[in-house]
Chains A and B, each alone.
Chain A
């Protein structure tokens, strides 16, 4: 537990991605099997403990510490696990500090009745950092700023392999990943996971700027609409595993039972998850209602029906199709679809064209819901993991823009910790500014220096790392779309807002009104 606790603590305070990677790799190098496997499982949220509810932990601490003092401490610290870790009385314990493996294995076999006694014994034996790590682990959320993808990247660095190789294996493996570590340390064979509904890393597109079409021959490419949903991979075996993977390889199937139940096929497909009513694609925020839900209600299934628009086919039965060119795979996809005809799925239509000008006109004409722009795919491109250059391009519609007023600035982290680099901006409503979004990129280093300087010289109020500034500077922000939102005071939310231009010249009174943004909302 000592090593794992040190790792978590290090990660909490480490703002930089590379720093986090270094800490995790070091952990894999130094921690023994099977501890490190369980550590990896914890970082990738592959461990679930259902018994240790916050109420149980509260009960334990209130039996040891004056509940009044505990209550005030909790108010002050704000986080239950941390409060309990810090306040737990430190007395000599006859018990040794358990290893991570012991913790994980004991928790999975211990019943509700014995659990409090076990936890109490562990907490007595541990120091404050270990207690904190234990409580974070058993209550679920680690919140140390590490995604599953980052943990897998560290693992790939540790073993000197491509992270996509790990992604392909991942869903066929289980903690404590002994075979996987053995392979990465060149002590064993690559684990065999064929036959499972495992994840195949997605092929991603690079952005195409307006003038970059010149060097490309239109005859080499096929075009289709770029749908504004969530890219998914459907993987199914008849009578066996069915999975819906996100772009990063997370299994999101639980939130979409209406798709899962219709995956009665033997294939791996690439597509876009959308909410579709009748034939019409709903705006992106309708799909958001379906994300990250632990419980999927009937009403949600009726109100926000999920649909997958298919782009590609990677496996058909036993046949891996990734080596074929796009055009050929596309033919196979159409044939497969004609044969299987799964409900709630259709094939993304191709957009025929003969010249870039023609395609550009088509793109500008498409103001339909759910279309972000166009995808261009080389007819002969195999399906390659990652973002290979020169194969797939996304050609987005021009962004929307608005003139807004800078209201608050927050200091960044890591290399940006001495710069005010995160900006909250507002638009006018009834003579007052209402925050409409937040942006922290889109400017050059030089512009960042200028903005930082301006913030420091126009501060009117400070709240910790946040400064309120005089409402004087106009930021022209660009964004992909605007949606209704009940979570924001303005009632709207922007998608992908970024600072487009700093309008040093423009008086703040001439910035846009909230009404103007409301008119851009896609209903």
Chain B
């Protein structure tokens, strides 16, 4: 850790949580949050690979996030993992840290940091609508709220999940002779789409690209039932008329998808709200299902946590800075690099 040298007012929030080349750095606690480069001590909010990178000396995360990281990175790196369940405070140097659910994916957490009488909540990625695969976001009062801004434009207003799943099931009725290939991220979106289908009463087997199976098994071990899943192989691929097939987002453009019977190409992502974007990606059935807060939810969340100061990371920072500034918040953009847009 480097010593504090900058001229920020002593003990102001910006003096003890700031941007370093490795990522968000908390010097008095001696750790980085979701660092993009290997560091000695990392606090990881959730298991997506742009937040949970390999190679750190030690990792503090929820037990579920650690399970995900271990499944992804195995024993490749000599990382020491420390599991911290939601709601249990831990002392790190001069800082107290507590995790609270972020509602993004299994194990996703906000990190509440307390130091010098001030509380900063780093929310990581989050969403506000119910998700059968993880506990809901829990608003925590704080002095500074650090929020994502993936969908921070007022054109992003996600419709209800049930409505979108309904469109998928409707398409299955119209095109019973075609496979329905749904692009989903391996962690979170995949299991959520399966769970939403089950909630909608779809009990038939769901066919899975091999790359998605590992994390599905992990979800089931953590108490998220997914129902019958069948691995798509070269043997059964051509027989999937009228079946739902889940695969990573790029699979429809891949040679893997060729043997599928005339697939309807669907994609589950918040970006599907923009027609031209869906069309350019060759998507025939765009499903607006997102694991991120939409514009209204970002706005509401900032109001609920009641922090006078809001720091905004990865996404369309300028729009949220502008909007919150007009509402009287001290809002600024944190120029973090290295985070990917969902769907890119």
Tell yes or no: B214 within 8 A of A by CB: no
- Please give the distance in Å from A124's CB to the nearest CB on chain B: 15
Docked complex: B145-159 residues within 8 A CB-CB of A? 153-157
The reply to whether B284 and A14 contact each other, CB–CB distance below 8 Å, is: yes
Interface centre among B316, B319, B326 (most CB of A within 10 A): B319
Chain A residues with CB below 8 A from B257, complex form: 418
| In-complex Cβ contact of B322 among A15, A65, A68 (8 A) | A68
Instruction: For B282, give the chain A residue with the smallest CB separation.
Output: A417
The reply to whether A464 and B280 contact each other, CB–CB distance below 8 Å, is: yes
| In-complex Cβ contact of A73 among B154, B265, B282, B326 (8 A) | B154
Extra A-B contacts (5), CB below 8 Å, given A68-B322, A417-B253, A465-B280: A12-B275, A78-B276, A132-B275, A417-B252, A465-B282
Tell yes or no: A415 within 8 A of B by CB: yes
Tell yes or no: A76 within 8 A of B by CB: yes
**Alpha-carbon distance between A79 and B274 when the two chains are bound, in angstroms:** 10
- Please give the distance in Å from A97's CB to the nearest CB on chain B: 17
Q: A68-B322, A418-B254 are in contact. Are A13 and B278 (CB under 8 A)?
A: yes
Tell yes or no: B323 within 8 A of A by CB: yes
Chain B residues with CB below 8 A from A93, complex form: none
Chain B residues with CB below 8 A from A418, complex form: 252-255, 257-258
The reply to whether A86 and B157 contact each other, CB–CB distance below 8 Å, is: yes
Chain B residues with CB below 8 A from A456, complex form: 255
Chain B residues with CB below 8 A from A9, complex form: 275
The reply to whether A83 and B155 contact each other, CB–CB distance below 8 Å, is: yes
The reply to whether A411 and B273 contact each other, CB–CB distance below 8 Å, is: no
The reply to whether B276 and A417 contact each other, CB–CB distance below 8 Å, is: no
The reply to whether A82 and B255 contact each other, CB–CB distance below 8 Å, is: no
Instruction: For A86, give the chain B residue with the smallest CB separation.
Output: B155
Docked complex: A66-114 residues within 8 A CB-CB of B? 66, 68-70, 72-73, 76-79, 82-83, 86-87, 90
Chain B residues with CB below 8 A from A68, complex form: 322
Tell yes or no: A288 within 8 A of B by CB: no
Tell yes or no: A413 within 8 A of B by CB: yes
**Alpha-carbon distance between A321 and B281 when the two chains are bound, in angstroms:** 51
Task: Give how many B residues have a beta carbon under 8 Å from the other chain's beta carbons.
Answer: 32
Chain A residues with CB below 8 A from B262, complex form: 415
Chain B residues with CB below 8 A from A77, complex form: 155, 274, 276
Tell yes or no: B318 within 8 A of A by CB: yes
**Alpha-carbon distance between A65 and B258 when the two chains are bound, in angstroms:** 45
The 10 closest A-B pairs by CB, nearest first: A86-B155, A73-B155, A417-B282, A73-B153, A87-B155, A87-B154, A13-B284, A72-B319, A418-B257, A418-B258
**Alpha-carbon distance between A388 and B52 when the two chains are bound, in angstroms:** 66
- Please give the distance in Å from A82's CB to the nearest CB on chain B: 6
Tell yes or no: B168 within 8 A of A by CB: no
Docked complex: B239-264 residues within 8 A CB-CB of A? 252-255, 257-258, 262
**Alpha-carbon distance between A167 and B255 when the two chains are bound, in angstroms:** 42
Instruction: For A81, give the chain B residue with the smallest CB separation.
Output: B275
Chain B residues with CB below 8 A from A14, complex form: 284
Tell yes or no: B198 within 8 A of A by CB: no
Tell yes or no: B283 within 8 A of A by CB: yes
Instruction: For B153, give the chain A residue with the smallest CB separation.
Output: A73
Tell yes or no: B286 within 8 A of A by CB: yes
Chain A residues with CB below 8 A from B276, complex form: 77-79, 82
The reply to whether B155 and A13 contact each other, CB–CB distance below 8 Å, is: no
B residues neighboring A (CB under 8 Å): 153-157, 252-255, 257-258, 262, 265, 273-276, 278-286, 316, 318-319, 322-323, 326
The reply to whether A69 and B279 contact each other, CB–CB distance below 8 Å, is: no
CB pairs A–B below 8 angstroms (27 shown): A12-B275, A13-B278, A13-B283, A13-B284, A13-B285, A13-B286, A65-B154, A66-B154, A68-B322, A72-B153, A72-B316, A73-B154, A73-B319, A76-B155, A76-B274, A77-B276, A82-B275, A82-B276, A83-B155, A86-B273, A128-B157, A132-B275, A417-B252, A418-B252, A418-B254, A418-B255, A456-B255
Chain B residues with CB below 8 A from A79, complex form: 275-276
The reply to whether A12 and B279 contact each other, CB–CB distance below 8 Å, is: yes
Chain B residues with CB below 8 A from A78, complex form: 276
- Please give the distance in Å from B292's CB to the nearest CB on chain A: 15
Chain B residues with CB below 8 A from A128, complex form: 157
- Write out, one digit per residue, whether chain A residues 8-36 have a CB within 8 A of any chain B CB (1) or not (0): 01001111000000000000000000000
The reply to whether A13 and B318 contact each other, CB–CB distance below 8 Å, is: no
Chain B residues with CB below 8 A from A13, complex form: 275, 278-279, 283-286
- Please give the distance in Å from B245's CB to the nearest CB on chain A: 14
| In-complex Cβ contact of A66 among B278, B282, B285, B323 (8 A) | B323
Interface centre among A65, A77, A78 (most CB of B within 10 A): A77
Docked complex: A416-465 residues within 8 A CB-CB of B? 417-418, 456, 464-465
**Alpha-carbon distance between A87 and B157 when the two chains are bound, in angstroms:** 8
The reply to whether A417 and B274 contact each other, CB–CB distance below 8 Å, is: no
The reply to whether A69 and B283 contact each other, CB–CB distance below 8 Å, is: no
Chain A residues with CB below 8 A from B318, complex form: 72
The reply to whether B322 and A69 contact each other, CB–CB distance below 8 Å, is: yes
**Alpha-carbon distance between A9 and B275 when the two chains are bound, in angstroms:** 9
Chain B residues with CB below 8 A from A65, complex form: 154
**Alpha-carbon distance between A87 and B257 when the two chains are bound, in angstroms:** 35
Chain A residues with CB below 8 A from B285, complex form: 13
Chain B residues with CB below 8 A from A12, complex form: 275, 279
The reply to whether B282 and A411 contact each other, CB–CB distance below 8 Å, is: yes
Docked complex: A370-417 residues within 8 A CB-CB of B? 411, 413, 415, 417
- Write out, one digit per residue, whether chain A residues 129-151 have a CB within 8 A of any chain B CB (1) or not (0): 00010000000000000000000
Chain A residues with CB below 8 A from B283, complex form: 13
**Alpha-carbon distance between A72 and B321 when the two chains are bound, in angstroms:** 13
**Alpha-carbon distance between A435 and B286 when the two chains are bound, in angstroms:** 33
Chain A residues with CB below 8 A from B273, complex form: 86
Chain A residues with CB below 8 A from B265, complex form: 417
**Alpha-carbon distance between A90 and B155 when the two chains are bound, in angstroms:** 11
Chain A residues with CB below 8 A from B278, complex form: 13
**Alpha-carbon distance between A13 and B171 when the two chains are bound, in angstroms:** 13
Docked complex: A41-83 residues within 8 A CB-CB of B? 65-66, 68-70, 72-73, 76-79, 82-83
**Alpha-carbon distance between A73 and B262 when the two chains are bound, in angstroms:** 35
**Alpha-carbon distance between A15 and B254 when the two chains are bound, in angstroms:** 18
**Alpha-carbon distance between A14 and B281 when the two chains are bound, in angstroms:** 13
Interface centre among B153, B157, B255 (most CB of A within 10 A): B153
Instruction: For A79, give the chain B residue with the smallest CB separation.
Output: B276
- Please give the distance in Å from B270's CB to the nearest CB on chain A: 12
